Structure 1
């Protein structure tokens, strides 16, 4: 392909991949919305005094961390219909990504909760707050502040991982790139452009995480 053909392919494919970018961002938003909530629940269960809750939480976390995302996508989209459960491509991708977000995010949230100084808990007890009230009012807000940068880093990784959602027919960036490439056979140009789309979101977001981390660091 000559340079003129390369640039023409880039120009023609840009609008197609832009629609895929919106789909990727929408999928990321839904996955993180439910994934962060799951991460908080799992983190609380792991630290719970109830042994059964801890066991369930640990099993879910290890499953989410140990099962490859591609396998999870195939299982939800192609496997569940065998037992009478059918999920659309977007729902299957969002569920798989949210599950992995919750599994990895739970360890971050748990570590951040435990990072809150013990004196804060003692002060809450001295004020007569119940254990749950002190957790809601004193511990959790401080833990969330600590957890923001690492959770944002997980969010960036999840955005990049949406590229696998093409296997379950979600019209995200890679799906649109494959579709355009199969019609024009200009795979090099369209995949370069797809990489640029991912980098255009991930690189500035990573830089933003570094800035936020410095601003939240009390020692800086």
Structure 2
């Protein structure tokens, strides 16, 4: 799969149906039962909104909308500090997993999405991120330490929010904390980041903020 923190959904439609069921309690053809535990009597007794609550047409419409959202525009990509930060990003080894560019399939279902170069800053693959980020449980083929590389596009806009939290569970209060939590396959890049002088770190943060 390519969708979800642990790449446990194979398609955008699967990811939407799983989120609708797990986060909102809405049934669909993929998740026909309410996700209520035996002790959750109020959940089990709540009125249903249909059987299923989300039609196939609604799921397809949501998937079309999300698939065709325009990527966030970069900000000040040519400023000297951002350019220096981008060089640090590559020198540290961050781009090995946070790949700057990917290309869509030539036979993508939507003609608008075929053979398109885009810049998500991810490889969409699972990586062992170390014990510090482990959640203590496997998820399909992903182990407790395995996480899909998070896309970085738009991260500068997230950072501007008042309640910005980074990593899969929002534990990191800043980009610096998020980087320092990296371990496992990313340990070497994390250590190189920790050894940077303050000015180089600031440039790297500026580059990330521009995405």
Normalized against structure 1, the TM-score is what? 0.20
- Normalising to structure 2: TM-score of the pair? 0.21
- Taking CA–CA contacts closer than 8 Å with sequence separation of 6 or more, which of the two structures ends up with the larger relative contact order? 1
The structure where strand makes up a greater share of residues is 2
Query: Which entry has the higher C-alpha Rg, 1 or 2?
Result: 1
Considering fraction of residues, name the structure with more helix. 1
